[in-house]
Structures are given as structure tokens and as C-alpha cells.
Amino acid sequence: MRRKSGFTIVEQAIALVPEFKKVTKRMEEQVVLRGQSISTLSNYIRRIAAFVVHFGKLPEQIEPDEINTFLVALARDPRSPSRSTFKHMVYGLRYYYRLLGMNKNAIALPSLKGDTKLPVILNRAELKELFAAPALLKQRIVLALIYSAGLRGQEVINLKISDVDLERKTLHIRQSKYKKDRVVPLAEAMAVGLRRYLAAENPHVWLFNGKEADGRYSVRGLSWVMRENLKKTSITKSVNLHSLRYSYATHLLEQGVNIVTLKELLGHADITTTMIYLHVAQCDLVKAHSPLDRLYNYTSA
């Protein structure tokens, strides 16, 4: 995130409070040691940086009453109706305090109620309309692939060409959330589409090349593709990129895949995370597959 000055919020924080550079290095080291998500770390660092820029000091140098006033203002901010900025700031501060061994400060932060909303699912007709919306082949392929294999945004941008086995119809997801590898089925229709895409785009190393420094696409870019193509459809549901993964999970349950198999396909660490989808369908045991095959009733020649 770059501000008008041309500097990122982290660079601004370091310029304002040089000690913050040591903090970011320590946080990065802890994430590596704990095997945690780099994207989560980046989010936490940006939140703490925004805090530092606001106060001109590190969090441990600010009185609790001042912090509470700051958090209340974030919670009431009309530009963030879901209170996401407030919640992520609390998560970031909590992580920061625990990293410094200041557990009392972490506990003193506001408690956040878990989100009990059920995921919004796209139905078959809506998915077909969405996948038909992009004018560019690359955009059609990336949206269909996310649904086809139930991928997280970060998993999509980390895919290399070598992770796709078009002969065996598999997709190898490497070191995703919780540092887990998994292999998921690749739909027949998706294999056909990927062959066309690879021949037309000729990507290098990464399956989806983009403008990131290392040549990858960005999650922000994926979200933009989803938003822009939703505008071309008649879909009125409040959905985002992750809704394709929700739809994947729900449709597999409806098609009879059991909850344990689904847990492995989604790469969940705990089956309780997967159980949110149980309200949709009964779970009969069937062979794991991609729901995209049944979306178009595709069969191989």
C-alpha cells in the first residue's frame, strides 16, 4: 500500500520511528520460526505501521486509554462498515504484544466475537454466467480454476507451471496455509482450458504471470478480476474471490463428497472449520473430483 508521498506505510513508520525496523525484522523471524503465513505477517506489519505513523511511537510507549480511544475511532469509522480495519488492528496489536512478551497488554485489548455468518454461495447458473463474462482468456481460466480446485487467492499466485499435471489431471498445492502440501483433482474441462491458455499466453515459471517483482500475479489483481467481471453479470449477491472456494466446498458436499475428504481437499487443519458447510447437504462417500466437471456435464473424449 503506497501513500501519496510514494512511500509505503511501513517505510513511513520506519522513517518516523527508526526502532520500528527492528520490530519488523523480529516479526519476520518469528513467522519463519513458527511456520506462519507470510501474507498474515504482512497484514500485521502494515497495521502496526499505521499505528506507529498515527502516534509517532511504538505501541508499548502509548497509554492504554489512548489506545482504546484510537480503536473506538476505528470501530466507528463509516468507511469500514464491516469494522475490518478495527479487527485487523486488534489482531495486529495482539500479535505484537505477545511477541514482546507483554501478554497483559494483549489480554487488555477488546475481545472480538467470531463471525457466525454463513458463507454466500454462487449457484450453478451464476457460476456459468461469471465464467462467461471475461473477455480475456486468462481471466476466464483463473476464475474457473479457483472454483474448480477450491483454491485460496495466495495458492493461485503461488502455482507454478510444473505444479499442473495435465495427464494425471492433478494440481499440486505447495506449502499453503499451515505449511501443508496437498494434491487436488483437476477437472477435465479445466485441463482443456489450461492447454489453450498455456499455448496462447506462454507463461514463464508461474502459471499466472503478473506485475509483482518476482513475476507473479497478485491477490489484489485476482480480486480486481473478480470484481470487474461480476459487474458484467446479473449476480446481485454480496460475493468476492473467496466465494468461489466456498461454492466449491458446498457443491462437493451436495454431490456427495464426505466431510473428511473435503477437509483434505480444502487444506483445512481442523475439521471444525470444514463443518460450516454441513448445513447444505448430506455427505455420502463418493470419489473425489472437481465440481467443474458436473457444472458443464463434461466428459473426456
Which active-site residues does the annotation give?
152, 177, 242, 245, 268, 277
Q: How many residues does the chain have?
A: 301
d(CA 169, CA 156): 17
Listed residue (61, 64, 29) closest to 45, CA to CA:
29
* Cell numbers representing residue 107 in the block: 489480554
Listed residue (229, 261, 235, 234) closest to 248, CA to CA:
261
Residues 255, 285: contact at Cβ < 8 Å? no
Residues 100, 56: contact at Cβ < 8 Å? no
Listed residue (48, 237, 218, 211) closest to 129, CA to CA:
237
* Cell numbers representing residue 44 in the block: 500485521
Which DSSP symbol is given to 269?
Answer: S
For cell 463418493, the residue is 286
Q: State CA 280 to chain mean position distance.
A: 23
* Cell numbers representing residue 21 in the block: 525496523
d(CA 295, CA 71): 45
